[in-house]
A = this chain, B = another copy of it.
Amino acid sequence: MTTPVSNLRINGDRLWDSLMDMAKIGPGVAGGNNRQTLTDEDAEGRALFQQWCENADCSMGLDQMGNMFARREGTDPDALPVYVGSHLDTQPTGGKYDGILGVLGGLEILRTLNDMDIKTKHPIVATNWTNEEGTRFAPAMLASGVFGGVHTQEWAYDREDAEGKKFGDELARIGWQGDEEVGARKMHAFFELHIEQGPILEAEGKDIGVVTHGQGLSWTEVTITGRDSHTGSTPMLMRKNAGLGMARVLEAVEQIALSHAPHAVGAAGHIDIYPNSRNVIPGKAVFTVDFRSPDLSVIKDMENKLREVASAIAGQMGLGITFEKTGGFDPVEFDEGCVTAVRNAAERMGYSHMNLISGAGHDACWINGVAPTAMVMCPCVGGLSHNEAEDISKEWATAGADVLMQAVVETAEIVE
């Protein structure tokens, strides 16, 4: 392996211009993007990416999940490619960078290597994974999940959006269903650049997050059952207030997560109250507790503690309570060699860096199961993401793509 020289850098202006051009497709209502998966806008974004890749003399592969693979040849016909990418789809009120930076960062590597006429032993493949966001067709990371053997393609095709349209039908409709068997490609390694979607790098003043682990996730849907009754005519001591029971469980969730500081987190983002009327004491509260940790045993501990503490709260208040595990994945430990390549690249190029644990799921988490994988993160303003106001600076994007490029090129091995 030949280490790239530290002054081998991507073209930050060109990367930024491409980000801005892509953001014109499926603009949001508040300066961000609405380019949800398998919409006409998604098709338009894919076509633009393909055009750019072809202009960079790359050939485009397309698999049966719509995953796109733009290949720059290597010198060794037997060497497996190094893959690099992320996703072009956005949340309904998403930003311009979540996912897109990783795909166009991959494209920028191909362009830079062309500029400099640098050859690598391993091919390099810039990748766009279909439906990372999962807001139109749940779950998130659907196509990388099929690629990584987590889901079957048949199951993925059957996922329905809110209007009852199926993933498979919509993929065919927009014209991006390929012939290639999903997951048949073998990878030498996979790298993903992504905005942090959290506040740590900005707060710590670091350019680069070297992602060592992905947090595991556990979703528990809690249903507390009380009795609907009139807010005026029911004495305090005769109430079965499911909303108050929920409030107490939410406090317990906070305390459980804090008891596993600093890496464990817990919160409820989704809460439904029934009948949700100002003069009716809530008879039912349904909410999903989201616990995360890089340590599987901590996740199990938090799940168990939630059931124990919340059951006691409900018991004391005369409320019914049930728990259903509705989602989750195990923590991910990224490949040591790939992680080291990212850290060394940041160090070599003079970018400040720190280790990070990814709190969000990413395509890299599923690909890590089938290939050596690592992630590079750059800061985002205020940690804001999944929001049209999501923002990064050109300098942050450039630093992230520089480090991505050096790690990828080192792994793909420059041929002198």
Contact with B along A235-247 (1 / 0, CB 8 A): 1111101011011
Q: In the docked arrangement, what's the CA distance between A277 and B292, Å?
A: 16
Q: Are A271 and B269 in contact (CB under 8 A)?
A: no
Q: Are A232 and B358 in contact (CB under 8 A)?
A: yes
Q: Which residues of B contact A282 (CB under 8 A)?
A: 267-269, 271
Residues of A within 8 A of B (CB-CB), count: 67
A interface, CB within 8 angstroms of B: 196-200, 203, 215, 217, 219, 227-239, 241, 243-244, 246-248, 250-251, 254, 257-258, 261-262, 264-273, 275-282, 288, 290, 292, 327, 358-361, 382-387
Q: Are A359 and B232 in contact (CB under 8 A)?
A: yes
Q: Are A198 and B290 in contact (CB under 8 A)?
A: no
The prevalent SS among residues of A at the interface is mixed
| Most chain B beta-carbon contacts within 10 A, residue among A243, A262, A280 | A243
A233-B360, A244-B250 known; 16 other A-B pairs, CB under 8 Å?
A196-B233, A198-B235, A199-B234, A200-B238, A217-B232, A228-B387, A229-B384, A231-B290, A232-B358, A232-B359, A244-B254, A244-B267, A269-B275, A269-B281, A278-B290, A279-B290
Q: In the docked arrangement, what's the CA distance between A288 and B277, Å?
A: 9
Q: Which residues of B contact A270 (CB under 8 A)?
A: 273, 276-278
Q: Knowing A267-B241, A271-B271 touch, does A236 contact B251 (C-beta < 8 A)?
A: no
Q: Are A198 and B233 in contact (CB under 8 A)?
A: yes
Q: Which residues of B contact A234 (CB under 8 A)?
A: 198-199, 265, 359, 383
Q: Are B235 and A265 in contact (CB under 8 A)?
A: yes
Q: Are B269 and A243 in contact (CB under 8 A)?
A: yes
Chain B residue with minimal CB distance to A249?
A: B247
| Most chain B beta-carbon contacts within 10 A, residue among A227, A233, A268, A382 | A233
Q: In the docked arrangement, what's the CA distance between A244 and B253, Å?
A: 9
